[in-house]
Amino acid sequence: MRPLLDSIEEESRIIVGLGTPDDAVVYRLGDDTLLVVTTDFFAPVVDDAYTYGAIAAANAISDVYAMGGTPFLALNLAAFPSDMPPTIAGEILRGGMEKAREAGVVVAGGHTMDDKEPKYGLVVLGTVTPERLLVKGGARAGQRLVLTKPLGSGIITTAYRAGKGSEEALEEVTRWMLRLNRDGVTAIHATSARGATDITGFGLLGHAVEMALAAGTRLRFRADRVPVLEAARPYADQWLFPGGAADNETYYSQWVTVAPSVPDEVGMLLYDPQTNGGILAAIPPEEMDRFAARCRELDQPFWEVGEVVEGEPGVEVV
């Protein structure tokens, strides 16, 4: 049995762990190096096996970016039906490996098991220096809120699977789901910002609530500034939201105030669960020009969607 003192010393190296709602574990390797560790996997969101693998890999890698880190190593996590043709499983793994390679990540093995429904993702390791670490609790009153991808992946993929979506809408959202969040974080690092997260299963408002509560601040969103894929709007009008959007609203609405002027379908879009959504970050106002300039250099889109304000911790939409 290991000495208790050794266990306590190792636990003291955990900078970010179970006590916070952050996107990955952060472990101190040395004075200047922090290890970032995360994992994520899910069932197919698109029909094409290669594309599904690539999206799942990008989504898993995103949590390292959300912590300000640089990913470098990954392991596959896969569950495939025993009767799945090997060529399909191979395409899923190839998609994941090639997207990881785009991110500078080596996929060095992993684990597979039998399951009735395909599932795929990665365990991802990265590194970050202490001064570049991004956490949900890093937002401060007076800072501007920026978002690096439009919303709508949940409702668009749900509508498509229900036979009510178009190929064109799916192609558009797939391009966004495949896009790495690397450049958005690179632009954030051009500033002194320390508050950020990526928008995934809890939707914009769910992840914003986590930021607000962790930072002890209030996040105010301007509904008309939040980017939404145009293809998602008619599906929202038809209320074709995935069940996850309702689940998000049920849990997180206790910390959210939505102005009466905001249409119900727009408010629900802000709860729409995203797959490899964008980075939400709080940028000091005096550094917005620097952030915008770096985004232009990297051809990285962004939208200024609100601000961090004083007040009871939570989120408001106006």
* pLDDT, tens digit, 9 for 90 and up, residues 277-306: 999 999 999 999 999 999 999 999 999 999
Q: What is the CATH number of the domain that holds 204?
A: 3.90.650.10
Count how many residues are written for the chain.
318
**Are 204 and 255 in a shared domain?**
yes
**Are 66 and 186 in a shared domain?**
no
Q: Return the pLDDT at 159.
A: 95
Per-residue pLDDT averaged across 139-166, rounded? Answer: 96
Q: What is the pLDDT of residues 161-200, one digit of tens each?
A: 999 989 999 999 999 999 999 999 999 999 999 999 999 9
**Are 225 and 169 in a shared domain?**
yes
**Per-residue pLDDT for 109 more than 70?**
yes
Q: What percent of the chain has pLDDT over 70?
A: 97
Domain of 102?
A: 4-131
Q: What is the mean pLDDT of the chain?
A: 95
Q: Return the pLDDT at 12.
A: 83
Per the CB < 8 A criterion, the answer to whether 95 and 67 are in contact is no
Per-residue pLDDT averaged across 3-19, rounded? Answer: 67
Tell me the pTM. Answer: 0.94
Domain boundary among 89, 109, 131: 131
**Per-residue pLDDT for 218 more than 70?**
yes
**Are 32 and 10 in a shared domain?**
yes
Per-residue pLDDT averaged across 239-245, rounded? Answer: 97
Task: Decide: helix, strand or coil at residue 170.
Answer: helix
Per-residue pLDDT averaged across 148-164, rounded? Answer: 96
Q: What is the CATH number of the domain that holds 72?
A: 3.30.1330.10
**Per-residue pLDDT for 3 more than 60?**
no
Which is it for the CA torsion 87, 58, 149, 160, positive or negative?
positive
**Are 166 and 83 in a shared domain?**
no
CA–CA dist 51, 2 (Å, integer)? 45
Tokens of 4: 């208790």
**Are 306 and 173 in a shared domain?**
yes
Q: Return the pLDDT at 31.
A: 87
- Residue 18's pLDDT band, with cuts at 50, 70 and 90, is confident
Q: Return the pLDDT at 4.
A: 37
**Per-residue pLDDT for 132 more than 50?**
yes
**Are 219 and 160 in a shared domain?**
yes
Rg (CA), the chain: 19
**Are 162 and 184 in a shared domain?**
yes
Q: What is the pLDDT of residues 61-83, one digit of tens each?
A: 999 999 999 999 999 999 999 99
Domain boundary among 72, 97, 131: 131
Q: Return the pLDDT at 10.
A: 60
**Per-residue pLDDT for 1 more than 90?**
no
**Are 164 and 308 in a shared domain?**
yes
The 8-class DSSP code of residue 2 comes to -
**Are 287 and 174 in a shared domain?**
yes
**Per-residue pLDDT for 94 more than 50?**
yes
Query: Residue 93, by phi and psi: left (phi above 0), alpha (psi -120 to 50) or beta?
Result: alpha
**Are 69 and 187 in a shared domain?**
no
Per the CB < 8 A criterion, the answer to whether 108 and 76 are in contact is no
**Per-residue pLDDT for 2 more than 60?**
no
Could you give the number of structural domains in the chain?
2
Q: What angle do CA 113, 40, 129 make, to 5 degrees?
A: 130
**Per-residue pLDDT for 6 more than 90?**
no
Q: Return the pLDDT at 11.
A: 67
**Per-residue pLDDT for 266 more than 90?**
yes
Per-residue pLDDT averaged across 268-279, rounded? Answer: 98
**Are 76 and 62 in a shared domain?**
yes
**Per-residue pLDDT for 120 more than 90?**
yes
Q: What percent of the chain has pLDDT over 90?
A: 93
Domain boundary among 131, 147, 182: 131
Asked which of 93-97, 134-138, 164-168 is least confident by mean pLDDT, the reply is 164-168
